[in-house]
Structure 1
Amino acid sequence: MSEPFSRLEKATAGLDAPVAVIDEPALWANADDLVRRAGGVPVRVASKSVRVRGIVGATLARDGFAGVMSYSLAESVWLADAGIDDILLAYPTTNRAALRDLVADDRRRAAITLMVDSIASLDFINQVVGANHAPIRVCLDVDSSLKIGPVHLGVRRSPVHSAKEAGKLAAAIAKRHGFDLVGVMFYDAQIAGLPDSSRAVRLVKSRSAAELLERRTRVVNAVIAHADLEIVNAGGTGSLEVTGADPAITELTAGSGLFSPTLFDGYDAWEARAAAYFVLSVVRKPTRNIATLFGGGYIASGPTNKNRQPTPTWPKGLELIGTEGSGEVQTPVKGKAARSLSIGDHVWMRHAKAGEMCERFDAVHLVDAGGNITAMPTYRGEGKNFG
């Protein structure tokens, strides 16, 4: 059995599956690689891609990382109360209870920056907490997709795309009592989240990067006419080198690159180093070449393609069965490697996405280079469900 699986399997042999395992040397090597690729630009940790507070904190303690990009306002309040003092919420919020919690505490308001992309977002906040609230820090989300005529290449996010639109909204925010516009965010999903799978994809990514380099500067200039910006956030795990070279930005964001799930295999800029696994146990042998595993139906969000399924990784030579896939209670795998599997043996799987795996487990088990295990609770293990 080859490294790292000989070390990981030996360390976790006494644990009942299903169990989540983090290869700690790979995790921190990935962290160092993110910092290297960022080229001196601070990297904000995307919490949705981790969902383990202990790992988020340990990552922030490393050189090159600064601040958290959260995905829920309730999560942001929880992290702020735990001592994290720089939290950028990645998405607009309509969580009434969390908004009330935010304005009820000066420390939270100082630590948390909300994301907005319209005056309607401000109107909603005022409806919930009243128009006379103390100042709330906000960041303007700018659509970073590539538009070629009627073609939209990228994710559907903010309605704000052009410098003119950004400047108009920034001016309107500046006139609103109770809101401080302190940041602008650009998420280039068509670059950061798209593996280099073909010449056509590389061409789209290159063209989009060039367009964004020019448009980001125009947007920032339009916004600073109305606000003193502290944050110009951009990029993701798959675009650190490209986006980090833009002098207009002040920080990058990454999270998936810490765990390196299968959707982040196949990029030209770096070699994926898997750090996160979940382990299932064999409970049946229907045939010589098939082993049935308990659990495993952990399908990643997004379009329901084959690449959203988990991938059998060790022993080598296993694959899912097309007619069954990864199941709610049982997952059959096939291949020559199944012949050597017995009841109770482990099969190591990789999830397609990073943080979503942690929604299935109360803890992750970090295995260090010496085979020592440290269990850390996930958000779920701490009794937190942020949707």
Structure 2
Amino acid sequence: MTALDDAEDYYRQVFARTRPPFAFVDLDALTANAHDLLRRAHGKPVRIASKSLRSRTIIDHALGLDPGFQGIMAFTLDEALWLHGLGAQDVLVAYPTTDTELLGTLAERTVEDPEGAPVVMIDSPDHVELIERAARRHDVRVKTCLDFDASFWLAGGRIRIGAKRTPIHTPEQAAAAARRVERSAYARLVGVMSYEAQIAGTGDAVPKRPVTNRAIRLMQDRSHRELRHRRALAVEAISRVTPLDFVNAGGTGDLELVASEPAVTEVTAGSGLFAPALFDRYSRFAPRAAAFFALPVVRRPGPKTVTVLGGGYVASGVPRWDRAPVPTFPPGLRYDGNEGPGEVQTPLTGAPAAHLAVGSPVFFRHAKAGELCERFNELHLVRDGRIVDVVPTYRGEGRCFL
């Protein structure tokens, strides 16, 4: 299938004998999205963001699609150690940790596997000191990556657009952080990472908002031009202190922009494989919806209202309607404004509700990617019009990292 508008009958036939609730991934759509990500990466390696997938089978499938996919960006050290223990190599932890027990385990892994052990994120001397405390008894230098701030500053920094992640904003601050690591006998700096949330995580094609969209595009253009220059200076400053193995940047939303930067050696993507509903609001690319979930109709409280079981799978971020799952099949269903998606039930209204029987499935798309797998133990995998496998999510393997 190539168009979401034509997919309802296709998926209803595929899942005619599958009892909802269930979640599924269309491998044909995922593969098309993967090739488009590689095209947008302009030949630079694409690191897989595991937080967007949260299924080892899907991660392995993506890594095996093409040599252009290299490495994993984990979201916690616990997850990274688990993946590494199961054979994963080249794992970068995207967020710092304060768990000294896990850092001790990382130090042990580094002794056993000096090059293949996970790389942990830092952005302050506090992080380095925690690593030193944990690694000292193993007499090993743990590999680290410096998180460099990609937010857009206006008015001398009084206005900051982007995610509040790291205090390392200037090339001078980056070089000072690198020198701190270089002085350590128990940590070494091997990479730099930055994420431009105001570009990669902000759609510029919001329906019925032409003025807002133009303003977002202007901000994103100015932000990237400023960041491109500042990031290059930071990488140059750090490289005078210590050689770097990699410079990582980006997300699905700005892949082609950061891939064009000479200072960037690799890019990151994950959500673009699933193509959740928020990506419908981007003008630079048009991925195919690849991940869905289905809930059963369990009540009919009115002639044009049905109630499905569960559904309160609201995505993280600023609480707004665009963070709610999107009722997709049948098209035309909408939430009740007084209830919205609920913890154990979700009323849906609209003309299609009149034709839905109790027991019928309603298909949804999650607003974001990874949080879907926190709600289901399994993913049904679809290819060529049939279910080809049923595989566990992290949750299905008894793992909940965040």
TM-score, with length taken from structure 1? 0.97
Q: Pick from 65, 69, 75: which aligns with 1:71? A: 75
C-alpha distance in 1 between matches for 2:113 and 2:214: 46
C-alpha distance in 2 between matches for 1:242 and 1:9: 38
Alignment partner of 1:9 is 2:12: yes
Q: Secondary structure at the match of 2:115?
A: helix
The CA deviation at 1:97 is 2.9
Change (3 A) 1:2 1:120: closer
Contact map agreement 2:162 2:197 (CA 8 A) in 1: yes
Contact map agreement 2:132 2:184 (CA 8 A) in 1: no
> Residue in 2 aligned with 1:125?
131
> Residue in 1 aligned with 2:222?
207
The CA deviation at 1:4 is 2.4
Deviates more, 1:48-57 or 1:370-379: 370-379
Q: What does the per-residue CA deviation read over 1:210-263, in whole Å, with 9 as the maximum and x for residues that have no partner?
A: 001101110001101111100100011000111100011100000010011111
The CA deviation at 1:80 is 0.6
Contact map agreement 2:204 2:217 (CA 8 A) in 1: yes
The CA deviation at 1:108 is 5.2
Deviates more, 1:270-279 or 1:246-255: 270-279
C-alpha distance in 2 between matches for 1:217 and 1:366: 41
Deviates more, 1:127-136 or 1:299-308: 127-136
C-alpha distance in 2 between matches for 1:178 and 1:128: 9
Q: Which amino acid aligns with 1:122?
A: V
Q: What does the per-residue CA deviation read over 1:284-317, in whole Å, with 9 as the maximum and x for residues that have no partner?
A: 1111110100011111111111111111000011
Q: Pick from 324, 329, 339: which aligns with 1:324? A: 339
Change (3 A) 1:321 1:108: farther
Q: Pick from 249, 264, 269: which aligns with 1:249? A: 264
C-alpha distance in 1 between matches for 2:33 and 2:240: 38
Q: Pick from 98, 105, 118: which aligns with 1:94? A: 98
The CA deviation at 1:9 is 1.8
Q: What does the per-residue CA deviation read over 1:35-90, in whole Å, with 9 as the maximum and x for residues that have no partner?
A: 11111111000000000101101111122110000001010011111111100100
Equivalent residues in 2 for 1:129-208, closer than 5 Å: 129-130=135-136, 133-149=139-155, 150-197=158-205, 198-208=213-223
Q: Which amino acid aligns with 1:162?
A: T
C-alpha distance in 1 between matches for 2:172 and 2:320: 37
C-alpha distance in 1 between matches for 2:340 and 2:38: 36
Contact map agreement 1:102 1:109 (CA 8 A) in 2: no
Q: Pick from 362, 377, 382: which aligns with 1:362? A: 377
Alignment partner of 1:110 is 2:115: yes
Q: Pick from 33, 36, 51: which aligns with 2:36? A: 33
Contact map agreement 1:8 1:23 (CA 8 A) in 2: no
Contact map agreement 2:14 2:385 (CA 8 A) in 1: no
- Name structure 2 gaps, 5 residues minimum: 206-212
Alignment partner of 1:24 is 2:27: yes
> Residue in 1 aligned with 2:235?
220
The CA deviation at 1:131 is 6.3
Q: Secondary structure at the match of 1:171?
A: helix
Q: Secondary structure at the match of 2:89?
A: coil
The CA deviation at 1:376 is 1.0
The CA deviation at 1:333 is 0.5
Change (3 A) 1:248 1:2: closer
Contact map agreement 1:7 1:371 (CA 8 A) in 2: no
Deviates more, 1:199-208 or 1:92-101: 92-101
Equivalent residues in 2 for 1:372-383, closer than 5 Å: 372-383=387-398
Q: Which amino acid aligns with 2:154?
A: I
Equivalent residues in 2 for 1:281-320, closer than 5 Å: 281-320=296-335
Contact map agreement 1:46 1:70 (CA 8 A) in 2: yes
Q: Pick from 260, 270, 273: which aligns with 2:275? A: 260
